[in-house]
């Protein structure tokens, strides 16, 4: 089965190279697709330095839409979703996400941060369904309606679909992995407002589901 890694990214030029560098070394990954979601920084230029396919969207359509475009373009049977702002990503993290799906032990894996940073670890333990680190069979994704309109609610949509459809899901602890928080990227006020917007999109996704 072919594995495609899809990285949705919005203004992640400072961070995305750390993720792509790991994926590029892995023989388990057949295809790497970066979907720049209307980025206004050098995300596209940085991604083009690696052996990846880059899809540069002219405007921001939201995380769900970017992931859907990546899926539609991909030839993979298994889709690996990773956030572009991960800190400490290693090959063993990727293998831990992929192995249960490759061996048909699960239809989807969900990665949970462990021993990374207190704030991000705690958030994922409270709400693991919000994790953006997942491996999932493409056949599962094809059954999800309106994936492109969920924006930041995409992880909730994936979780709810799995629950309602009897999809086998396995949580995987990703030790010593974390990511950059919005308040760190944008400053406290702008980051806090961006976080509130993200939560609102998640709430809307729950209501739709």
Mapping DSSP to helix (H, G, I), strand (E, B) and coil, where does residue 35 land?
Answer: strand
Per-residue pLDDT tens digits for 115-161: 655 444 444 454 545 688 999 999 998 877 666 555 556 777 788 88
pLDDT digits (tens, 9 = 90+) for 13-29: 999 999 999 999 999 99
Torsion 115-131-68-190 (CA) sign = negative
Which residues are CB-contacts of 208 (< 8 A; sequence separation ≥ 6)? 146, 150, 153
This prediction's pTM = 0.81
State the pLDDT at residue 58.
96
- What CA–CA distance (Å, rounded) separates 149 from 64? 6
Query: What domains are there in the chain, each with its CATH number?
Result: 3-180 (3.90.550.10)
Report the alpha-carbon distance of residue 78 to residue 140 in Å, rounded: 10
| Residue 45 φ then ψ, to 5° | -60, -40
């Amino acid at each position: 089965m072919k594995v495609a890694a899809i990285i949705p990214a919005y203004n992640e030029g400072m961070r995305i190279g750390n993720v792509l560098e790991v994926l590029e070394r892995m023989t388990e990954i057949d295809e790497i697709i970066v979907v720049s979601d209307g980025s206004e920084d050098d995300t596209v230029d940085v991604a083009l330095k690696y052996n990846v396919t880059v899809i540069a969207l002219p405007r921001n359509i939201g995380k769900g839409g970017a992931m859907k475009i990546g899926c539609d373009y991909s030839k993979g049977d298994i889709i690996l979703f990773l956030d572009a702002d991960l800190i400490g990503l290693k090959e063993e993290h990727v293998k831990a996400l992929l192995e249960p799906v490759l061996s048909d032990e699960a239809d989807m894996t969900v990665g949970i941060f462990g021993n990374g940073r207190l704030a991000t670890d705690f958030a994922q333990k409270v709400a693991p369904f919000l994790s953006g680190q997942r491996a999932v069979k493409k056949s599962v994704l094809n059954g999800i309606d309106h994936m492109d309109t969920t924006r930041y609610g995409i992880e909730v949509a994936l979780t709810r679909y799995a629950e309602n459809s009897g999809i086998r899901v396995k949580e995987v602890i990703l030790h010593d992995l974390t990511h950059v928080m919005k308040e760190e990227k944008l400053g406290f006020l702008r980051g806090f407002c961006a976080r509130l917007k993200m939560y609102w999109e998640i709430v809307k996704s729950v209501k739709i589901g």
